[in-house]
Amino acid sequence: MATIKDIAQQVGVSTATVSRVLNYDETISVTDDTRDAIFETAERLNYKKKVIYPKIENVSLLFWTSNQEELEDIYYSSICKEMKKQAEMRNVQIAIITKKQGIGAVPKNSKAFIGIGWFSQREINVLKEITNQGVFVDTSPDESFFDSVRPNLDSIVTQIVDFFYKKGHKNIGFVGSSDYDINSFERVMDVREWSFTESVKYYGLFDKKKIYISEALSVEEGYRIGIKMIEELKNDLPTAICVASDTLAVGLLQAFNERGILIPKRTEIFSINDINVAQYVSPPLTTFHIDIPAMCESTLDLLYERVIKKREITKTVYINGKPVFRRSCVN
């Protein structure tokens, strides 16, 4: 890795001059040619300025998952693992608190928190009493009070439907999961189901019979829904299916393979998340990759703005996904 000393030697100036120029010190007196030479040499040597992050202490990392579904837990565990790694790199001192420990375990002197998972209104109220410097990852329980970083599921589902339509599919189905209000336990339409419904309506292809909602994002539920679709729809089985998560898609593939439904020849499947197992099922899943490092980076950016820069207005950041084409749906 190039250093300031390397640049100084090649340009023929002191390291102090290079440092001041690269830091845009307007008080330094150098010629335009020297200034240009320093920047050009830095770029040619691929010089990267060392970023010194201010220390942020007393940050609680709340890992609020139930561990009920192993494959789905991989997603949240990956977020937690990546967050810990990036926090250490950025001088953010975190203490992990799990759902099992309970909201009462969050220290009253917490300067800030990062929330991963689902929180009840009672738990949100407790956090509000502690600090307003919180960032939720993958959820946004109170956008007027806390920041949040989420995958742009609305855009992702719209892109999947657009892709199917442009390929000529007119019989497009959806397999999703119920979203429940954590306080009332009443069913709430998940954003992926809403986006799918609006997208197929736009193309005049809406068919309520082709929308299947599972009780949970699990392999077992994906399998159950797959069998149900085959038995109920028979020859009218969709030629293309948008699936809300890879976990459901794995179960769906098991059901279709068991009943002799050829993928992608008879039905194409496009899911969301790109968990590690997606590339190993048969056939390998075409899926939208959710960029977990980008989500964690944005989370820590927001935390920095709130704690260090004292930003008062809340922000919600949506991270776009990237399609990864495998064999369950051909590009």
Q: Helix, strand or coil for residue 276?
A: helix
251 and 163, same structural domain?
Answer: yes
Write the CA distances from 147 to 63, 74, 113, 119, integer angstroms: 17, 24, 10, 14
Pair 211, 174: CB distance under 8 Å: yes
**Mode of pairing for the β-strands spanning 179-180 and 187-188:** antiparallel
Q: How far apart are CA 71 and CA 277, in angstroms?
A: 8
In a domain, 70, yes or no: yes
Same domain for 206 and 316, yes or no, is no
Same domain, 169 and 271: yes
Residues of the chain with pLDDT under 50: none
Query: Closest Cα to residue 303, out of 110, 97, 153?
Result: 110
Residues 113, 185, single domain; the answer is no
Give residue for tokens 């200034």: 35
Residue 50 maps to a domain: no
How high is the pLDDT of residue 75? 86
Identify the CA nearest to 90 among candidates 136, 122, 54, 142.
54
User: Residue 176 contacts by C-beta under 8 Å, 6 or more apart in sequence?
Assistant: 190, 192, 193, 196, 211, 212, 213, 214, 243, 244, 248
Q: Please state, as a whole number, how many other Cβ atoms lie within 10 Å of the Cβ of residue 230.
A: 17
Same domain, 264 and 276: yes
How many whole angstroms separate alpha carbon 75 and alpha carbon 126? 26
pLDDT at residue 125, as a whole number? 96
**Among 116, 115, 117, CA closest to 133:** 115
**Per-residue model confidence (pLDDT) at position 178:** 81
Residues 158 and 285 reside in one and the same domain: yes
Q: How many of the other CB atoms lie within 10 Å of CB of 71?
A: 21
Q: Which residues pair with 212 in a beta bridge?
A: 175
Residue 285 confidence (pLDDT)? 98
Please tell me whether residues 311 and 272 are part of one structural domain. Answer: no
Q: Find out whether the peptide bond into 283 is cis, omega within 30 degrees of 0.
A: yes
174: phi then psi, degrees, rounded to nearest 5: -140, 135
Domain assignment of residue 64, yes or no: yes
Domain-embedded: residue 68: yes
Residue holding tokens 């830091």? 23
pLDDT score, position 51: 75
- Residue 329 domain-assigned (yes or no): no
CA atoms within 13 A on the CB side of 181: 8
Output the CA torsion sign for 76, 79, 80, 81: positive
Same domain, 124 and 201: no
| CA dist., res. 17 & res. 63, Å (int) | 47
Look at the alpha carbons of 109, 110, 112, 116 in this order and tell me if their dihedral is positive or negative: negative
Q: Are residues 81 and 122 in the same domain?
A: yes
Residue 330 located in a structural domain: no
Q: Are residues 233 and 296 in the same domain?
A: no
What DSSP letter does each residue of 25-40 carry, written as one string?
-TT----HHHHHHHHH
In a domain, residue 325? The reply is: no
Q: Do residues 63 and 105 share a domain?
A: yes
Helix axis angle for 4-11 and 15-22, nearest 10°, is: 110
Q: How far apart are CA 42 and CA 174, in angstroms?
A: 51
Same domain, 200 and 277: yes
Q: What's the CA gap between 63 and 61, in Å, rounded? A: 6
Number of domains in the chain: 3
Range of the domain at 101: 56-152+292-320
What CATH number does residue 187 fall under? 3.40.50.2300
- Is 49 among the domain residues? no
Q: Which of 241, 314, 297 is nearest to 87 (CA)?
A: 297
